């Protein structure tokens, strides 16, 4: 890339090439869809036996080839459009500099230097001061034999001033040319590197290794196009602004963003749920391929979690499942909804707590809680959706004793909830924020952010060790809209306050268990304080306490054991499950609250 190449370059040609790849991508997607939904279905219905099985196998292979073509051509489309957009600015700056040179009758040479004519008058001789040649960006001055030739002396050095009036203008033009070329070289280098990765091997066989390579291609294109994305996607704006931006795009532009940048569109608050779901179903496929065969327990756990979610997506469900977020950062990210959050009149978003991460337990356990809540709520009102939001790193062990994870996660939760408000199609949807265990502390932190939890009408806290405030009315929805479930045998809801724990530990070493008890009681008198503040189930807190089953009794554990994520406190885990032996009373009450039917909630006297 030099100034002659940049001068000859036509950005629109790259846009036209992108249009061509976009058309190929769309055709491949349509072909894959026809194979999967029409031809394969008809084949299964009409044929049986080895021949039919062999044909179906070939159809699956052909479908994967079309799928691969769709994704890779989508990536090429994004790269070409990104290059065309970014290269336009240095191209424009070069053109303006060349036009200015032509207007002044300066010569721009092949090497980018600028030759300027004689001008001004030498006061000693009365002759014109000779012209010269300058190189942009502090290059050497040449072509002047009147005492002003100074190799190594920079044109912009304040110690040197060429008396030829053309000199300064020529330096300015040469600098602008060099700057434009340097910027174009950087852009060209980024996109060339990304595009060079987008090549299929001869004799294409789409397998796990191929998809892992595709995942690498996605990262390469996203990295190359980072500046383009910042300029074209309102990443730093509100979810409402992003929704407005998405609505303003053409269908072709939307398809390009989904195909080229699924990891961004799928996790962007303010993008419609069906779009996020489509992008994330594509992205989870790539993330699984990326993790296949990777060493390390963390990678294996995330892989199990991704595969578990994908299996549920493939199996289908009623209510239907939507994948609203997926990622590998930290302990993993996953946001799953049952029922469409954009069309439902009632929407809840539940934050899990201690020990939760993207693993097999998340897919088989945590996700089910949202499923049960959606099913239960739809019995009260069919227009209901329930979400599990793992958009933060939940504490895994003794870090649960601090508020750090909750405070870090609260802004992301509020952004997600703002997105729900922005994309919901109902005039005034009923929105419920749910926090379980440590997740209730995050919900509490979210209420204390500027503006509180966007759109929240009700807050449900279950198995809570405190939320960081001492009164229900401080959560921003009115105390009559704060609901608390605390099973009798859930020891997490009876944790000592931090003052009690500290004083009790000191008392234990100084006077045995009795000393620990007395020291703790003196340090924090009363029975309505828990670890993170006032007990949400207490009368002093002032919330609505709803009925739960007591849950299995548990022998009193030591204080450190309560914070150990491996401790199985069954009463602490049953709130959402209507299954036999769990807590159908709590599950029904949560469902009624989510559906906006408080009259069906069975209440319980606060502690």
Averaged pLDDT for residues 541-549: 97
* pLDDT at res. 399: 79
Averaged pLDDT for residues 97-122: 94
Averaged pLDDT for residues 563-578: 74
* pLDDT at res. 71: 93
Query: Is omega for the bond preceding 501 within 30 degrees of 0, making it cis?
Result: no
Pairwise CA distance, residues 460 & 475, whole Å? 11
Averaged pLDDT for residues 78-106: 96
Mean per-residue pLDDT of the chain: 88
Token pair for residue 43? 């084949």
Percentage of the chain modeled with pLDDT above 90: 73
* pLDDT at res. 398: 83
Q: Which pLDDT band holds residue 567 (cuts at 50, 70, 90)?
A: very low
Whether residue 485 is predicted with pLDDT greater than 50 in this model: the reply is yes
* pLDDT at res. 498: 65
Model confidence pLDDT, tens digit, residues 126-185:
788 899 999 987 544 444 433 333 333 344 454 567 889 999 999 999 999 999 999 999
Averaged pLDDT for residues 46-53: 79
Q: Which helix or strand (DSSP H or E) is residue 81 part of?
A: helix 50-103
Please state, as a whole number, how many other Cβ atoms lie within 10 Å of the Cβ of residue 49: 8
Token pair for residue 476? 């921003």
Query: Is residue 130 within 8 Å of 149, Cβ to Cβ?
Result: no
- Look at residues 377, 409, 373 and name the one whose alpha carbon lies nearest to residue 390: 409
* pLDDT at res. 128: 85
Model confidence pLDDT, tens digit, residues 575-591:
999 998 899 999 999 99
Between the two ends of the chain, the Cα-to-Cα distance in Å is 74
Averaged pLDDT for residues 412-429: 97
* Alpha helix segments (H runs only) across 151-296: 165-197, 208-224, 226-232, 239-248, 251-260, 262-265, 273-291
* Segment 93-98 long-range contacts (CB within 8 Å, at least 24 positions apart): 93/176, 93/179, 93/180, 93/183, 94/3, 94/6, 94/7, 94/176, 94/177, 94/180, 94/181, 94/184, 95/7, 96/176, 97/173, 97/176, 97/177, 97/180, 98/7, 98/177
Alpha carbons within 13 angstroms on the beta-carbon side of residue 71 total 27
Q: What is the DSSP string of 262-294?
A: HHHHTT-TTS-HHHHHHHHHHHHHHHHHHHTT-
Query: Is residue 226 within 8 Å of 234, Cβ to Cβ?
Result: no
Q: Mean pLDDT check: name the lowest of 13-17, 403-407, 519-523.
A: 519-523
Q: What is the DSSP string of 471-540?
A: SGGGGSS-GGGEEEE--TT-GGGGPPPHHHHHHHHHHHHHHHHHHHHHHHHHHS-SS-EETTEE-TTSTT
* Strands 384-390 and 333-338, sheet pairing: antiparallel
Pairwise CA distance, residues 377 & 587, whole Å? 9
Which is more confident, 563 or 98? 98
Pairwise CA distance, residues 55 & 564, whole Å? 53
Q: Which helix or strand (DSSP H or E) is residue 462 part of?
A: strand 456-462
* Alpha helix segments (H runs only) across 266-403: 273-291, 297-315, 360-361, 367-380
CA Rg value for the chain: 32
Model confidence pLDDT, tens digit, residues 217-274:
999 999 999 999 999 999 999 999 999 999 999 998 999 899 899 999 999 999 999 9
Pairwise CA distance, residues 221 & 197, whole Å? 9
Pairwise CA distance, residues 73 & 76, whole Å? 5
Model confidence pLDDT, tens digit, residues 278-320:
999 999 999 999 999 889 999 999 999 999 999 999 999 999 9
Model confidence pLDDT, tens digit, residues 112-128:
999 999 998 887 777 88
pTM given for the model: 0.85
Whether residue 338 is predicted with pLDDT greater than 80 in this model: the reply is yes
Q: Mean pLDDT check: name the lowest of 184-188, 446-450, 513-517.
A: 513-517
Whether residue 195 is predicted with pLDDT greater than 80 in this model: the reply is yes
Q: Which pLDDT band holds residue 552 (cuts at 50, 70, 90)?
A: confident
With tokens 């809840």, the residue in question is 348
- Look at residues 219, 451, 455, 171 and name the one whose alpha carbon lies nearest to residue 328: 219
Name the burial class of residue 15, with classes exposed (0-12), middle (13-18) and buried (19+) by CB atoms within 10 angstroms of its CB. Answer: middle
Averaged pLDDT for residues 358-386: 96
Q: Which pLDDT band holds residue 206 (cuts at 50, 70, 90)?
A: confident
Query: Is residue 440 within 8 Å of 353, Cβ to Cβ?
Result: yes
Averaged pLDDT for residues 106-113: 95
Pairwise CA distance, residues 304 & 500, whole Å? 40
In angstroms, the Cα distances linking 370 to 331, 396, 435 are 20, 21, 12
């Amino acid at each position: 890339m030099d100034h002659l190449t940049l001068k000859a370059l036509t950005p629109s040609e790259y846009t036209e090439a992108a249009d061509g790849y976009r058309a190929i991508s769309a055709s491949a997607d349509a072909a894959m869809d026809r194979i999967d939904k029409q031809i394969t279905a008809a084949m299964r219905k009409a044929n049986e036996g080895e021949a039919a099985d062999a044909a179906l196998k070939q159809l699956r292979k052909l479908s994967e080839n079309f799928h691969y073509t769709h994704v890779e051509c989508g990536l090429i489309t994004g790269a070409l459009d990104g290059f065309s957009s970014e290269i336009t600015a240095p191209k424009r700056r070069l053109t303006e500099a060349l036009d200015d040179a032509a207007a002044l009758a300066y010569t721009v040479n092949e090497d980018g230097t600028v030759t300027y004519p004689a001008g001004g008058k030498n006061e000693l001789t009365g002759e014109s001061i000779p012209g010269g040649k300058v190189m942009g960006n502090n290059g050497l001055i040449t072509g002047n034999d009147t005492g002003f030739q100074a190799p190594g002396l920079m044109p912009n050095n304040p110690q040197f001033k060429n008396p030829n009036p053309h000199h300064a203008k020529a330096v300015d033009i040469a600098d602008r040319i060099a700057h434009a070329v340097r910027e174009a070289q950087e852009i060209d280098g980024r996109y060339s590197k990304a595009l060079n990765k987008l090549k299929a091997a001869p004799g294409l066989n789409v397998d796990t290794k191929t998809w892992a390579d595709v995942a690498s291609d996605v990262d390469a294109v996203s990295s190359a196009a980072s500046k383009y994305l910042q300029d074209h996607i309102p990443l730093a704006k509100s979810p409402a602004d992003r929704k407005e931006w998405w609505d303003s795009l053409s269908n072709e532009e939307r398809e390009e963003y989904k195909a080229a940048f699924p990891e961004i569109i799928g996790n962007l608050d303010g993008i419609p749920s069906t779009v996020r779901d489509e992008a994330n179903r594509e992205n989870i496929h790539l993330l699984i391929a990326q993790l296949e065969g990777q060493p390390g327990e963390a990678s294996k756990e995330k892989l199990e979690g991704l595969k578990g979610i994908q299996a549920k997506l493939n199996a289908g469900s009623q209510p239907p499942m939507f994948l609203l977020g997926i990622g590998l950062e930290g302990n993993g990210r996953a946001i799953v909804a049952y029922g469409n959050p954009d069309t439902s009149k009632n929407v809840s978003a539940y934050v899990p707590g201690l020990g939760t991460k993207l693993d097999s337990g998340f897919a088989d356990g945590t996700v089910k809680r949202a499923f049960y809540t959606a099913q239960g709520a739809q019995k009260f009102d069919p227009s209901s959706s329930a979400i599990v939001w793992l958009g933060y790193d939940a504490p895994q062990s003794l870090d649960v004793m601090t508020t750090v994870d909750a405070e870090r996660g609260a802004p992301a939760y509020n952004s997600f909830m703002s997105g729900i408000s922005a994309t919901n199609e109902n005039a005034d949807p009923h929105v419920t924020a749910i926090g379980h265990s440590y997740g209730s502390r995050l919900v509490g932190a979210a209420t204390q952010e500027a503006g509180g939890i966007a759109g929240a009408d009700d807050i449900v806290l279950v198995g809570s060790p405190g939320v960081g405030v001492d009164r229900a009315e401080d959560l921003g929805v009115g105390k009559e809209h704060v609901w608390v479930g605390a099973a009798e045998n859930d020891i997490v809801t009876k944790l000592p306050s931090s003052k009690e724990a500290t004083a009790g530990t000191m008392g234990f070493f100084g006077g045995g268990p009795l000393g620990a008890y007395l020291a703790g009681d003196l340090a924090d008198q009363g029975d309505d304080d828990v670890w993170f503040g006032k007990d949400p189930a207490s009368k002093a807190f002032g919330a609505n306490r709803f009925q739960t089953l007591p849950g299995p009794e548990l022998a009193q554990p030591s204080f450190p054991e309560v914070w150990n994520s491996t401790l199985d406190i069954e009463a602490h885990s049953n709130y959402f499950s209507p299954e036999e032996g769990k807590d159908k009373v709590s599950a029904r009450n949560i469902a009624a609250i989510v559906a906006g039917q408080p009259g069906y909630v069975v209440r319980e006297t606060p502690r």
